[in-house]
Amino acid sequence: MHAYWELAKSSFRRHSTYRIAALSGAFTNSVFGLIRASLLLSAITTAGGRIGGYTAVEGATYVWLGQALLAPLGLFGSAELANRVKSGDIAVDLSRSVNLTGAYWAQDLA
């Protein structure tokens, strides 16, 4: 457990160095969320209040939950793991005493 904590701390230090980038990412995510929400809500309003069983509140919830899950799920994340597999460096990661998935989660949580 100590190794995961140290990974999370070092990852937090790395990400806190780029505060403007984090704020820019949050701002961009919010702007795209507003665009998606406005388009979906206008479509629901035009359709008479429901589209596919979704009301305006459910549509807004759908949009903002989707936007909130972009970062934790890493949908537009880096291809770091894929590059490590391609280069063969993944063998070193798998030989460590720390679970590979747990190590990546610890870094992502920070």
Could you tell me the pTM of the whole model?
0.62
Q: Is the pLDDT reported for residue 109 higher than 80?
A: no
Burial class (CB in 10 A: 0-12, 13-18, 19+), 7: buried
DSSP assigned state of 54? B
Checking if the pLDDT of 15 tops 60, the result is: yes
How large is the C-alpha radius of gyration of the chain? 19
Domain count, the chain: 1
Domain with 86, as residue range(s), is 2-109
Mean pLDDT, rounded, for 75-82: 68
